[in-house]
Amino acid sequence: MGTSDATMVFTNDTSPAGVDDSSSSIPWMDNSTFTAASTEAAPMSKSLQTYPERVAIAVLWLLIALIDIIGNTMVILAVVFSKKLRTFTNVFVVSLSVADLLTGLALPMSAVGLLSPGDTWPWSTETPCYLAGMLLFISSCASLYNLASIALNRLILIKRPMTYRSLYTRRNLAINVAVLWFVAIAIMVVPPLCGVGGFGYDEQHHTCSDLDTHPKAKSFERIQTFLFYPIPLIIIVTSYTIIYLHVRRHFKAQRSLRGGISTSGTGPVSSSSSFQVSDNAAVLKTSQQGRAYHQQLQITKNLFMTVCAFVVCVTPYSVALFIPNNDRYLLFLGVVFTCNSCINPFIYASKHPQFKKVLRRMLQCRYSQIEEPSDALKALMTCCYKA
């Protein structure tokens, strides 16, 4: 049968029954070819989100990245400009800000993938996407280990102040920060080097992250979750629990001491004034120690807020990794995850007593009013005046 007859049979289901077997087989073959060609022309998308959802997430990430970069840069510059902020605890605060800053620098690459209408990486090479994905995960891991180091620092300062100076020397601080960054890098780099997971362009989420399509992607996700979340979280919770119990005992003892002093003050007056002078000196010393203790306690409470913010932002994503058939929602939880990187500067600016003053002067461009200006700030101001 001719080609025209075959076409007629394909397009008309009411053809006469007198069509031979060879004729009926041709339409079946043509239909198969047509379907295959259609599938090849419009392949099934692997995307788990619609394009409008991807655009919304990309806009949110670009906004988070902008706030992140500006805020954390200001926190780092505040320590650079003011000697008063150069405390041992703030070494970890700066390290935390560096980690959050790296997160902000990595997010725009994912926005590029999300905004691309296709299902493949839009550029000729995936190298920028690979580096951005690896940087994002390393910085997130480093953030949590920095928060664990801050918790231990506050615990030792409040509970063992006499050993604090000998333990937190410049050398030990440098080693501590280097070790925590080494651990964060090792957790995220060693498994891919051993063939467990990898980084690059994720075609399902259109982001620069770990590859969900890798044969051992789930194993890599478990390694991430177990090594960079539970261990630091246990350190953080344990440290702040001990701090809370210690502070509660401290204030109970203070109330008892004040009650004893008040009771002794209402009794008979001693014939010797030396006891009164001694008591006044003791009360003054206790008052000064109390103010210093309250200041350290306030700083600890504010730093604890950064821990709470991190836990609230990170926990949903980490828990979701263990729930099956929820890959579609991981990207949305990832947005909540990255929100943490831009929250900390707001906590410092609004609550931390020392950072608050310096950051306010910086926002008002009153650098000459910054307390205890550093040599770097003095040199910068001198250059500006000369210009």
- Provide CB contacts within 8 A for 333, sequence distance 6+: 316, 317, 320
228-244 tens-digit pLDDT? 778 888 888 888 888 88
pLDDT range class, residue 47, cuts 50, 70, 90 = confident
The pLDDT, as a whole number, for residue 275 is: 36
Q: Is residue 175 pLDDT above 70, yes or no?
A: yes
What span, in angstroms and rounded, lies between the C-alpha atoms of 136 and 133? 5
251-265 tens-digit pLDDT? 777 777 766 555 555
Residue 155 in domain: yes
Q: Is residue 104 pLDDT above 70, yes or no?
A: yes
The pLDDT, as a whole number, for residue 181 is: 96
Percent of the chain with pLDDT over 70: 77
The pLDDT, as a whole number, for residue 272 is: 42
Contact 164, 152 (CB under 8 A): no
What span, in angstroms and rounded, lies between the C-alpha atoms of 113 and 262? 69
Q: Are strands 199-202 and 207-210 parallel, antiparallel or unpaired?
A: antiparallel
Q: What integer is the mean pLDDT of 49-58?
A: 93
Least confident of 31-35, 88-92, 124-128: 31-35
The pLDDT, as a whole number, for residue 261 is: 53
The pLDDT, as a whole number, for residue 44 is: 52
Instruction: Return the residue matching tokens 């990170």.
Output: 314
Give the domain extent around 61. 51-257+284-381
Contact 180, 145 (CB under 8 A): yes
Q: Is residue 304 pLDDT above 60, yes or no?
A: yes
pLDDT range class, residue 28, cuts 50, 70, 90 = very low
The pLDDT, as a whole number, for residue 21 is: 44
Residue 352 in domain: yes
Contact 118, 205 (CB under 8 A): no
**Tell me, what CATH number does 310's domain have?**
1.20.1070.10
Annotate 264-289 with DSSP letters as a single string: HHTSPPPS-THHHHHHHHHHHHHHHH
Q: What integer is the mean pLDDT of 354-383?
A: 90
Q: Whole-structure pTM over 0.85, yes or no?
A: no
* Domains: count for the chain: 1
Q: Is residue 87 pLDDT above 60, yes or no?
A: yes
Residue 271 in domain: no
CA atoms within 13 A on the CB side of 61: 28
Q: What integer is the mean pLDDT of 284-303?
A: 63
Beta strands in the chain (DSSP E): 199-202, 207-210
Residue 273 burial by Cβ neighbours in a 10 Å radius (0-12, 13-18, 19+): exposed
Contact 140, 103 (CB under 8 A): yes
211-225 tens-digit pLDDT? 878 888 888 888 887
The pLDDT, as a whole number, for residue 178 is: 96
Higher pLDDT pick, 296 / 256: 256
Q: Is residue 78 pLDDT above 60, yes or no?
A: yes
